[in-house]
């Protein structure tokens, strides 16, 4: 893959600056306030302005005289430099903003769902867990797997632990998308864990329990 970047320059009219003597035309001529600017770009689209210089320019001959801030400040209004030249660097953020907002909304809704299902569990619920913090059958830094809720007795919940785990959440998600995790054969029914609601809430708060699924 190759990349294209570089720089360029252009001029834009800021405002009408009224009539002024022009040294080239030797007469009173209408002038504009213009801005000469330089910009840097990546792939011609992601760009930002690196330099501005204001001047008064004769509309008849184009003769320009450098303008001082005190002379042009009152004439400034809407920035005449095209948006994509000034703010092209924001394009990735503008494109990704809806996806990020949706992701945050989904995360919030999932968090509400988990809280509700921990408070009102059902036999058969499947908890996505970082297992070393829950089961003695797994050790190491991370082992992502599932636990299936087998029974509820008062505040105590008994889970069967999955027969295997993964070192990446994405690998576990493949099993979950195939609905393999709802089958009893997916679990080692001799490897059980008993947890109460307070412990589950603590595991959820720490991120050790990161999802709950309920079979339709």
pLDDT at 8 over 70: yes
User: What pLDDT does residue 142 have?
Assistant: 83
The alpha-helical segments, DSSP class H, found in the chain are 69-72, 83-87, 91-119, 169-177, 197-206
Long-range (24+ apart) CB contacts under 8 A made by 78-85 are 80/12, 80/13, 80/14, 80/35, 81/10, 81/12, 81/35, 81/37, 81/49, 82/12, 84/45, 84/47, 85/10, 85/37, 85/39, 85/47, 85/48, 85/49
Bigger pLDDT: 38 or 216? 38
The answer to pTM > 0.85 is no
User: What pLDDT does residue 140 have?
Assistant: 67
Q: Residue 2: which pLDDT band, with cuts at 50, 70 and 90?
A: low
The alpha-helical segments, DSSP class H, found in 19-168 are 69-72, 83-87, 91-119
What average pLDDT does this structure show over 6-13?
89
Query: Which among 7, 6, 5 has a CA at the least distance from the CA of 39?
Result: 7
pLDDT at 105 over 80: no
Q: How far apart (Å, rounded) are the C-alpha atoms in residues 62 and 163?
A: 80
Per-residue pLDDT tens digits for 182-205: 888 999 988 899 999 999 999 988
Q: How far apart (Å, rounded) are the C-alpha atoms in residues 85 and 45?
A: 8
Q: Residue 48: which pLDDT band, with cuts at 50, 70 and 90?
A: confident
Rg (CA), the chain: 33
User: What pLDDT does residue 99 have?
Assistant: 73
Per-residue pLDDT tens digits for 117-174: 999 999 999 999 998 878 777 766 788 999 999 999 988 999 999 988 888 888 888 8
User: What pLDDT does residue 72 have?
Assistant: 92
Neighbours of 123 (CB within 10 A): 11
Per-residue pLDDT tens digits for 52-102: 999 999 999 999 999 999 999 999 999 998 888 888 777 777 777 777 776
User: What pLDDT does residue 14 have?
Assistant: 95
pLDDT at 1 over 60: no
Query: Which among 161, 124, 158, 132 has a CA at the least distance from the CA of 146?
Result: 161
Q: Residue 103: which pLDDT band, with cuts at 50, 70 and 90?
A: low
User: What pLDDT does residue 84 have?
Assistant: 84
Residues in the chain: 216
User: What pLDDT does residue 98 have?
Assistant: 73
DSSP tag of 134: T
SS3 state at 26: coil
Q: Are 146 and 170 in contact (CB under 8 A)?
A: no
Q: What is the mean pLDDT of the chain?
A: 87
171's tokens: 């690998």
């Amino acid at each position: 893959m190759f990349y294209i970047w570089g720089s360029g320059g252009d001029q834009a009219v800021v405002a009408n600056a009224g009539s002024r003597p022009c040294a080239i035309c030797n007469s009173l001529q209408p002038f504009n306030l213009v801005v000469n600017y330089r910009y840097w770009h990546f792939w011609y689209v992601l760009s930002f302005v690196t330099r501005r210089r204001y001047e008064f320019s004769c509309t008849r001959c184009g003769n320009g005289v450098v303008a001082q801030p005190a002379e042009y400040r009152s004439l400034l209004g809407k920035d005449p430099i095209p948006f994509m030249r000034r703010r092209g660097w924001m394009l990735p953020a503008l494109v990704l903003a809806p996806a990020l907002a949706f992701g945050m909304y989904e995360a919030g809704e999932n968090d509400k769902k988990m809280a509700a299902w921990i408070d009102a569990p059902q036999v058969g619920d499947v908890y996505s867990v970082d297992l070393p913090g829950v089961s003695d059958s797994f050790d190491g830094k991370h082992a992502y797997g599932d636990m299936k809720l087998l029974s509820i007795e008062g505040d105590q919940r008994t889970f069967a632990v999955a027969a295997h785990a993964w070192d990446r959440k994405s690998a576990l998600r493949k099993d979950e998308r195939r609905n393999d995790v709802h089958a009893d054969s997916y679990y080692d029914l001799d490897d059980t864990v008993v947890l109460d609601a307070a412990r589950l809430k603590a595991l959820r708060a720490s991120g050790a329990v990161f999802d709950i699924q309920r079979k339709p």
